[in-house]
Amino acid sequence: MIPDAATLKTYTADLRVLIVEDDRALLEESAALFRLLCKEVLTAENGQEGLARFEQEGPFDIVITDIYMPRMDGIELTRALRAQNPEQKIVVVSAHEESAYLIELINLGADAFVLKPVEIERLMDGVHKIARALHNERAVAEFNATLQQRVEEEFTKRRESESLLIQQSKMAAIGEMLGAITHQWRQPLTALSVILQEIEEESQNPELSRDQIREDSQAGLEQIAFMNQTVEDFKQLLKPDRQRQLFDVREATWAVVRLLSKLLASHNIHVDLDESTPIEPVRGHPSAFRQAILNLLSNAKDAIIARRQKEGTPQEGQIAIRFAQSGDRLTLSIEDNGGGIAADTVPQIFEPYFSTKGAEGTGIGLFIVKTIIVNTLQGSIEVQNAPKGARFVITLQT
């Protein structure tokens, strides 16, 4: 059933149509009708002229052609059009006695047939079906194009969001590190103060040997070296890695443990780091890896402190760090005795802005850990409940 003219025009308004017909009266009548519905209509009186207009003034959305015409018939024209554009939409107008040609036209892929004498309704019905198909194809193509654009925009937004979260996490890490440095430096600063006082007193006592002063000076230099190492560890933690490089996962982990050692000790938390299992180096970004380890150790510290407050017991905190090498896969596990994670929250633990710490948590720490391990280091991370707390397991390619 042919729709009304307004509905039909929604499908045909943007179409360019070429009509090839040697019957001038039929050609003019058809062209006049199509010009009411289509964007542009061109005409030709034989196949040769039609092919020339197609080549010089195309592309056309629909070509309507008669079969029997001088110079070049509709079959030859259809064959030539198909050779240039296999997807060209073609409507063939034929007389009853020309039905012998239909099989060849079907093989050539004509899209619609209209018998002579031409009934305008039949011709418009064939054009309507083709126009609707073209409309749908273009709608799908446009949707796919905009879908790709939307996907790219969403991907860009997500990367920007992740970048912002990583930056927020890094700022939080700086705060954590400043607290760690405070604890790291408090004891050596006190020791250095005592040593300087002793040197001053010794310099005024002629009975003391220069060896004693030299010994105290050496002790002072050792304290300064320790403090300098703390600063170097801090710098390495925040130093961006522009290139992927081979690095020792154990040494990178140990650097973070060194930074946190005094802070953890002040909370009666002991770290047991596996120093003997042979492991292979990993290619990636050591600074990003250290940030992930810092977040995991800070998370373990908070869990242990929270458990103490909840149970009201001063038990010693324990964090165990273990390594394992299996083929080209290195596994690192960090296990604490902070009481574990509620089973119903385990699936959400790595989601952004999800926190088990209530108002005190930002919900980005573990999300950043997963982002670094999965996206930056191309590894994997999972969480399990251990007998006394949580166990985070990182797997990396070596």
The Cα–Cα gap between 136 and 142 comes to: 10
Structure tokens at 224: 């300064």
Given pLDDT bands bounded at 50, 70 and 90, which one contains residue 112?
confident
Q: Do 126 and 33 touch, CB atoms closer than 8 A? A: no
Note the pLDDT of residue 198.
73
- Using alpha carbons, select from 136, 51, 133, 62 the residue that is nearest to residue 92: 62
At residue 179 the predicted structure's pLDDT band, cuts being 50, 70 and 90, is low
Phi then psi dihedrals of residue 11, to 5 deg? -95, -25
Q: How far is CA 205 from CA 73, 200, 217, 221, 235, in A?
A: 123, 9, 16, 22, 42
Q: Which two tokens stand for residue 129?
A: 């079906």
Does residue 32 carry a pLDDT above 70? yes
Q: What is the mean pLDDT of residues 199-227?
A: 72
pLDDT score recorded for residue 167? 63
Round to whole Å and give the CA distance between 340 and 200: 53
Instruction: Give first-to-last CA distance, the chain, whole Å.
Output: 67
Where residue 317 falls among pLDDT bands split at 50, 70, 90? Answer: very high
Query: At 292, is the secondary structure helix, strand, or coil?
Result: helix
Mean pLDDT of 373-393: 92
**Residue 244 or residue 324, greater confidence:** 324
The rounded distance, in Å, linking the Cα atoms of 38 and 30 is: 12
Per the CB < 8 A criterion, the answer to whether 51 and 71 are in contact is no
Confidence band, pLDDT 50/70/90 cuts, at residue 372: confident
Average pLDDT over residues 16-44: 89
pLDDT of residue 139: 76
Asked if the model's pLDDT at residue 349 lies above 70, the reply is: yes
Tens digit of pLDDT for each residue in 197-209?
777 776 777 666 6
Q: Looking at residue 181, what is its pLDDT?
A: 63
pLDDT of the residue at 237: 59
| Beta-sheet strand order (sheet of 62-66) | 40-44, 16-20, 62-66, 89-94, 112-115
pLDDT at 398 over 80: yes
Write out pLDDT tens, residues 266-301: 889 999 999 999 999 999 988 889 888 988 998 899
Cα–Cα dist 263/41, whole Å = 82
Q: What is the mean pLDDT of residues 193-200?
A: 74
- Residue for token digits 């310099």? 203
* Sign of the CA dihedral with 41 first, then 47, 52, and 55 last: positive
**What's the pLDDT score for residue 392?**
96
Tell me the average pLDDT of the chain: 80
Lowest pLDDT segment from 55-69, 105-119, 124-138, 304-318: 105-119
pLDDT reported for residue 348: 83
- Among 37, 40, 43, 41, residue whose Cα is nearest residue 2: 37
SS3 of 397, please?
Answer: strand
> Is 80 exceeded by the pLDDT of residue 85?
yes
pLDDT band at 224 (very low <50, low <70, confident <90, very high): confident
Cβ 15 vs Cβ 62: under 8 Å? yes
